[in-house]
């Protein structure tokens, strides 16, 4: 393991400090550095709050800003933030319209966000949207075991825009739950993750192997397979996604090809090029795309493909202005 760091124990705090310092016109630390929040809050807008373990950057701190999150709580690497952090974020960002919590479907995150929500009951209006887009988990469709992975950024972008448009808490909760049923993600890794604390890789692959159906915490995937070419990998991912989702004629698709941290951008574009064609060959209208490194697993070499089926409202919220460290556009790419 070689990393740019001083000590593993202080790595997250040092990196967060650098992040806030680099983006100090956009974000500030909350009290006691328990979370990162927008520098300028908007009175009367529902606050959108997310968070999770460190090691997935730029998610979630990179999504704090106009049109997306109001606050992000970061735990230690691959470890949920504490209820204490989440309570502080709620208390300091609720400007009167309540808070929507966006939580990735992991036991630790669920438990701590729920404890935080209970702790503020009566003082703050709270709703929670759970993201569970990862189809590479055995079990029935939409089983509670499905993890929240790269689709989380789609939910955060669209709900963030809806909140900016003054959608109320109940509306955001309903929109988020509906969105979650229309987003599917699958990931493939070419190598495991080296966790700074242990200095060990979470799984080891031979030079001719890949790990199919991985999450973003270094856990092994569904199966270990022989390394294949990009066409074969893309086809396997698309077919698995399409077998799991009901297509409706009116939907238009947002396709996200997301790198896990150690995969260069050109490889992501290469995969996007294949995936787009495969989806279009199935009659899907790929209306929007996002290709880059957004939801990571430290330095893992690998990528995921996310298919999000959006209606006109969803597309409009996706296109709405966003100004965060990791996503920025006024009108998208014009």
Cα separation, 58 vs 60, in Å, equals 6
| Closer residue to a copy of itself (CB): 159 or 301 | 301
CA 265 to chain centre: 18
Structure tokens at 52: 């999770």
Rounded least distance, CB 186 to a copy of itself, Å: 14
Which residue is it, tokens 């049109």?
67
Nearest alpha carbon to residue 50 among 20, 80, 6, 15: 80
Pairing of strands 183-189, 99-104: unpaired
Q: Which residue among 23, 60, 124, 217 is the active-site one?
A: 217
Is the CB of residue 230 less than 8 Å from the CB of residue 37?
no
- Phi-psi category of 96—alpha, beta or left, where left has phi over 0 and alpha has psi -120 to 50? left
Rounded least distance, CB 329 to a copy of itself, Å: 5
Q: Which residue among 23, 40, 56, 76 is the active-site one?
A: 56
Rounded least distance, CB 171 to a copy of itself, Å: 27
SS (HEC) of 120-189: CCCCCCEEEEEECCECCCCCCCCCCCCCCCCHHHHHHHHHHHHHHCCCCHHHHHHHHHHHHCCEEEEEEE
Structure tokens at 185: 């993600």
Catalytic annotation on 217?
yes
| Closer residue to a copy of itself (CB): 99 or 291 | 291
Rounded least distance, CB 16 to a copy of itself, Å: 8
Rounded least distance, CB 204 to a copy of itself, Å: 13
Cα separation, 325 vs 94, in Å, equals 22
Cα separation, 108 vs 85, in Å, equals 14
By the criterion CB under 8 A, which residues form the site for a copy of itself?
Answer: 1-7, 11-12, 14-19, 21-23, 25-26, 54-55, 57-58, 62, 65, 190-191, 207, 210, 227, 229-231, 233, 261-274, 276, 289-291, 293, 296, 298-299, 301, 303, 323, 325, 328-330, 332-334
Rounded least distance, CB 115 to a copy of itself, Å: 26
Structure tokens at 194: 């080296």
Catalytic annotation on 56?
yes
Is the CB of residue 262 less than 8 Å from the CB of residue 301?
yes
Which residues form the catalytic set? 56, 217
């Amino acid at each position: 393991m070689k990393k740019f760091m001083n000590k593993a124990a202080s790595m997250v705090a040092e990196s967060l400090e650098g992040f806030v310092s680099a983006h100090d016109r956009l974000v500030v630390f909350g009290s006691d550095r328990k979370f990162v929040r927008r520098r300028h809050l908007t009175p009367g807008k529902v606050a959108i709050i997310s968070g999770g373990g460190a090691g997935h950057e730029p998610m979630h701190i990179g999504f704090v800003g106009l049109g997306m999150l109001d606050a992000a709580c970061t735990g230690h690497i691959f470890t949920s933030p504490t209820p204490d952090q989440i309570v502080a974020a709620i208390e300091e960002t609720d400007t009167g319209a309540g808070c929507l919590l966006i939580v990735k479907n992991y036991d630790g995150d669920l438990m701590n966000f729920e404890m935080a929500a209970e702790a503020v009951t009566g003082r703050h209006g709270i709703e929670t949207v759970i993201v569970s887009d990862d189809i590479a988990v055995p079990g029935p469709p939409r089983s509670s075991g499905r993890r929240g992975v790269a689709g989380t950024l789609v939910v955060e972008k669209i709900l963030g825009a809806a909140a900016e448009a003054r959608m109320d808490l109940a509306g955001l909760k309903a929109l988020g739950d509906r969105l979650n049923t229309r987003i599917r993600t699958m990931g493939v890794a070419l190598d495991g993750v080296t966790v700074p604390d242990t200095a060990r890789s979470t799984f080891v692959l031979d030079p001719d192997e890949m790990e199919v159906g991985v999450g973003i915490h270094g856990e092994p995937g569904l199966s270990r397979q022989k390394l294949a070419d990009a066409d074969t990998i893309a086809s396997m991912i698309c077919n698995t996604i399409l077998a799991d989702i009901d297509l409706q004629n009116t939907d238009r698709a947002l396709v996200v090809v997301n790198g896990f941290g150690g995969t260069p951008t050109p490889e992501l574009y290469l995969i996007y090029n294949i995936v787009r064609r495969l989806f279009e060959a199935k009659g899907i209208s790929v209306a929007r795309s996002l290709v880059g490194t957004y939801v990571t697993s430290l330095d893992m070499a690998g990528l995921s493909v996310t298919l999000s089926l959006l209606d006109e409202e969803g597309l409009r919220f996706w296109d709405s202005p966003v100004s965060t460290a990791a996503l920025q556009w006024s009108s998208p790419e014009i």
